[in-house]
Amino acid sequence: MRYSIHGKTLEAKKARILINALVDCAKAGIKSSLFINKMLWGISLYLECGSFRKENWLTYHRASDAAKQVRASGDKNWKRNVTFEHARPLSRMYQMLLDEKETLTLDRAAFIIGEYPPVLITTEEELKMAKRGFKTKGTPEERYDDIPISGFSVRSDGTTE
């Protein structure tokens, strides 16, 4: 996680509010839904990028080697060939929150959400991942085993700003 939920910025306050809502939902045993997934998506984005605005795919630093090549290709439609993929699927994140609902805290929920930040990969890499059975299953390391990445680890380096 590059950005803390304990900061004084409005974005950090929003993140705390949303994570507290997710903790409450998990503790109540509420099933996953579109709204749960959108909260997870937004918090994941904040923890890595520091804002809730859509990530800039052109400058996003966590990209597979192939996605970096597509981005640098000069093709004006390069965005059609890449996708913003959560290393730990949103459904798995929320299931972890549900599994820990008895002892779940704000900080533990933030850790679960931010431990494996999203990665920009090619749509071809995403299809290969799905064919291998890793659309929503498997550990992040298993899911990304066949996807060449350099310059970062699939797991967050844990530094916060």
Helices of type H across the chain = 10-27, 34-49, 65-72, 90-99, 106-114, 123-131, 140-143
Q: What is the mean pLDDT of the chain?
A: 92
Closest CA to 101 of 28, 31, 15: 28
pLDDT number for residue 153: 87
With a cut of 60, say whether residue 9 has pLDDT above it.
Answer: yes
pLDDT number for residue 158: 58
With a cut of 70, say whether residue 18 has pLDDT above it.
Answer: yes
pLDDT number for residue 135: 85
Q: Are 107 and 22 contacting, i.e. CB atoms less than 8 angstroms apart?
A: no
The string of pLDDT tens digits covering residues 52-93 is 887 788 888 899 999 999 999 989 999 999 998 999 999 999
pLDDT number for residue 123: 96
Every domain of the chain and the residues it spans = 10-143
Across 15-28, average pLDDT = 97
Structure tokens of 98? 């549900």
Other beta carbons within 10 angstroms of residue 117's beta carbon come to: 26
The string of pLDDT tens digits covering residues 145-155 is 999 999 888 88
Interhelix angle for 34-49 vs 90-99, to 10°?
A: 100
The string of pLDDT tens digits covering residues 91-128 is 999 999 999 999 999 999 999 999 999 999 999 999 99
> Higher model confidence: residue 133 or residue 121?
121
Name the burial class of residue 52, with classes exposed (0-12), middle (13-18) and buried (19+) by CB atoms within 10 angstroms of its CB: middle
Instruction: Count Cβ neighbours within 10 Å for each residue of 126-150 and write b for 16 or more, e otherwise.
Output: beebeeeebeeebebeebbeebebe
Residue with tokens 């630093």: 61
> Alpha-carbon distance 81 to 115, whole Å?
26
Across 12-31, average pLDDT = 97
> Alpha-carbon distance 5 to 46, whole Å?
9
Closest CA to 96 of 107, 104, 106: 104
